[in-house]
Amino acid sequence: MNKKIIINIKGMTCASCSASNEKALNKTQGVLSANVNFASKKAYVEYNSEITDELKIKEAIIKNGYKIESDIDIEHNHNKHAMTHNIKMKNGEHKHGGEDIKKSWRAFLMSAILSLPLVLEMFYKYRIGINIYNMDLIMWLHILLATIIVFYFGWRFHKMAFKQAKKFQANMDSLISMGTLAAYFYSLWALVINKEGYLEAASLIIVLIILGKYFEAKSTGQAGEAMKKLMELGVKKAKIVFNGEEKEVDISEIKVGDILIVKPSEKIPLDGIIIEGESSIDESMLTGESLPIDKTINSKVFGATINQDGIIKIKVTEIGEATVLSQIIKTVEEALGTKAPIQKLADIISGIFVPIVIIISIITFTVWIILTNNISVSLINAIAVLIIACPCALGLATPIAIMIGTGKGAKNGILFKSGESFEKAKNINMIIFDKTGTLTKGELRIKKIINNPQYNFSEEKIIKIAASLGKNSEHPLSRAVYKYAKEKNIILKNFKNAKEIKGKGVLAFCSEHNEIIGLGNIKLLEELKIETNWAKDILTDDHLEVGTQLFVAHGDKNIGVIIVADVLREEAKKVVSNLKNMGLETAIITGDNKKIAKNVAYELNIQNVFAEVLPDEKSFAIKKLQEAGKKIIFVGDGINDAPSLVQADLGIAMGNATDIAKEAGQITLMANNLEKVVEAIKISKLTFKTIKQNLFWAFIYNIVAIPLAAFGFLNPIIAAGAMSFSDVSIVINSLRIYKK
């Protein structure tokens, strides 16, 4: 049986660390796939539980030299405690992350204060004249301070470097450790023989890198803000109705079928349906829609949404990982565990980056010693090469942008299932919509009522007869007529012996007039032996509203026709216009007849129409367009759309989509709002653009900075500051995604 687990790894400092852990996990027997995200410091592992278990997977990480904080099981186990447990654990994790930030800040402050005398030494050499072993007491103080900074505050770098060395590996900690230790021990030797040392360089490298780590942790924390807010949305307590009395219980004690009471301004604890009361519900945290939604009896409600103004009782239908909130968290977590194809290049380079830098550093030292015969200059330039190199920037470039893009999407009711979605959006040149339920509301409405001029029946009379028949039918067309009559407060008749004739319509007997009453298509009129000339004229009249014609029969007379059609979404026209402004072709694909499809296309100004397409032919039609060079987004909602969602370069499932369609799509919209399609495309393109910018600057930084250090233009202190800033700049650039 395949299972998935997310493991929080402590101690990763650069892309080399994530690559090392990924390699160790993928080599573990029973592990099917492993992705390690440097930005989120998590490993996303899928494994065969019959071959290995969580303990062995964690041991692989520990043996690799890293620690584990906590793990999050994202397997569908239908455990009623799962959602509460996961949210609590993640909240604790974020609290712990906050403590790490504070710890880094305290370490920086303390080390910075201790380094002040060493910094002053660079500008003014103060001596008190008390010598111990031929060295002024002030210099002994400097050695003490440098020792504390290098070995106490810098211990984490040396410790990890040692662990890596034991495995014949190296990471960013190796570069920092080698650089600072070389500067420190050279300085001790230099001071013994009365030469200038570089204790201030060894110390300030540590101080500046700790400061860089603080800013990196803080800005990375901001990058995960949307994800944090998602995780903190769940409630811990709920008011349950038990034996007619209200009782507050822990959320983990609630079972499917329990009745909960939710008062105004309270969060709805779990997914369910309203069985008593009505209210407006703020579902913005799920859908990104700012306006509250009116809910009445039998309406679905979702956990973590906010009840605004009414007291409601809900019957719980979903608990634990089956709730919508838990599914969103799971989807976002899994998306963060995937890699965009563009990251492969960065991963390859990151895997060999540190050894290459060490080789360049050795070459730098060797060349300078040959040219100058000055060990001091040679060592300083070699150290500068070690310190200026930044594998972190390469490692952060892609995952940090994906983290922010995914978080922004989730906040706005758009779920990106993988990092690949962002990259796929860049080449899209065509967007194809399913019609029913996507461009339209999927709600049939009466567009026109026409009475047959041969007979004197009013529109209200025609509707009254039709709706009296329709109330006995479950067919969507009949229900649309019945719903219209109810909205108009038309009093209906009770006909006898109502029956449906498949493919034709519904019949009943009117005892008042002693006649058969019928509602259906022209085939029903033929069945009743009613003259059909007027009906045929209606069917062939191109000037009438497009829709399905329902003829109303009264005895031997066809008294009128009701035209029923699906209603376009209010935002559809604006969305199509926006997509065209973005340079995208638009198209409709539908199983409906050509006349209806072309009418919808005309209303929305869509040029490409694929009508009367059978469900199993939709994906084939998309494939043919792809073969012709089109890069396609398909937007759909039904079971029959699933193959098309998979076939398309990028599939977007609407909020009202079936579960199968949602599974097939790479992006899921939580709201039934087409404007989210435009938003999803914009977020995708912006995120990928940011990834490219990040990688460009990460590569450029290292390509320019390392030669500058090797040629002696940068001292180690400036190199340490520049290296720290490079990481932070990548995160800051990625945070711009939030603001656009």
Residue-wise burial string across 231-245, b where 16 or more C-beta atoms lie within 10 A, e elsewhere? bebbbeebbbeeeee
Question: Position of tokens 């592992």?
Answer: 45
The beta-strand segments (E) located in 486-631 are 496-501, 505-510, 515-520, 548-554, 557-568, 585-589, 608-610
- Residue 55 parent element (H or E): helix 54-63
Those residues whose C-beta lies under 8 Å from the C-beta of residue 145, and which sit 6 or more positions away, are 114, 115, 117, 118, 199, 203
* Residues tagged active-site: 434
* Beta-bridge partners for 237: 250
Residue-wise pLDDT tens digits, 131-160:
888 888 888 999 999 999 999 999 988 988
Q: Per 3-state DSSP, what percentage of the chain is helix, strand, and coil (rounded to 5)?
A: 55, 20, 25
Residue type, 681: I
Q: For the residues 394-408, what does the mean pLDDT come to?
A: 81
| Rounded Cα gap, residues 33 and 102, in angstroms | 35
Residue-wise pLDDT tens digits, 534-546:
998 888 887 777 7
| Rounded Cα gap, residues 556 and 526, in angstroms | 11
Name which of 201, 188, 179 is nearest 119 in CA terms: 201
Residue-wise pLDDT tens digits, 326-346:
777 776 666 666 666 666 666
Pick the CATH number of 2-75 from 3.30.365.10, 3.30.70.100, 3.30.930.10, 2.60.40.3500: 3.30.70.100
Using pLDDT thresholds of 50, 70 and 90, give the confidence band for residue 553.
very high
The domain 443-567 belongs to what CATH superfamily? Calcium-transporting ATPase, cytoplasmic domain N (3.40.1110.10)
* Beta-bridge partners for 68: 9
pLDDT at 497: 84
In the chain, % of residues over pLDDT 70: 87
β pairing state of 271-276 and 312-318: antiparallel
Residue-wise pLDDT tens digits, 418-440:
778 888 888 899 999 988 778 88
pLDDT at 110: 94
- Lowest-confidence region among 60-69, 86-95, 220-229: 86-95
pLDDT at 222: 59
Using pLDDT thresholds of 50, 70 and 90, give the confidence band for residue 225.
low
- Lowest-confidence region among 1-15, 371-385, 690-704: 1-15
Mean pLDDT across the chain? 83
Residue-wise pLDDT tens digits, 570-590:
899 999 999 999 999 999 998
pLDDT at 585: 93
Residues forming CATH 3.30.70.100 domain(s) in the chain: 2-75
Helix 716-739 to helix 391-411 angle, to the nearest 10 degrees? 20
pLDDT at 309: 82
Residues forming CATH 3.40.50.1000 domain(s) in the chain: 414-440+569-680
Query: Cα dihedral sign for 637, 642, 644, 648?
Result: positive
Q: For the residues 468-477, what does the mean pLDDT come to?
A: 81
CB atoms within 10 A of CB 37: 25
Q: What are the helix and strand counts (H, E) for the chain?
A: 25, 28
Residues forming CATH 2.70.150.10 domain(s) in the chain: 255-318
pLDDT at 289: 61
Q: Does the pLDDT value for residue 96 go beyond 70? A: no
pLDDT at 85: 36
Is the CATH number 3.40.50.1000 carried by domain 414-440+569-680? yes
CB atoms within 10 A of CB 321: 23
pLDDT at 293: 82
Does 14 or 305 have the greater pLDDT score? 305
pLDDT at 717: 81
Residue type, 347: D
pTM for this structure? 0.69
Rounded to 5 degrees, φ, ψ at 693 are -60, -45
Rounded to 5 degrees, φ, ψ at 122 are -70, -25
Using pLDDT thresholds of 50, 70 and 90, give the confidence band for residue 73.
very low
Pick the CATH number of 255-318 from 3.40.30.10, 3.30.70.920, 3.40.430.10, 2.70.150.10: 2.70.150.10
Residues forming CATH 3.40.1110.10 domain(s) in the chain: 443-567
CA Rg value for the chain: 34
Residue-wise burial string across 110-139, b where 16 or more C-beta atoms lie within 10 A, e elsewhere? bbbebbebbeebeeeeeeeeeeeeebbebb
- Lowest-confidence region among 1-10, 81-90, 95-104, 264-273: 81-90
Rounded to 5 degrees, φ, ψ at 295 are -130, 140
Residue-wise pLDDT tens digits, 578-630:
999 999 999 999 877 787 888 889 889 998 999 888 766 888 899 899 999 99
Name which of 35, 31, 39 is nearest 12 in CA terms: 39
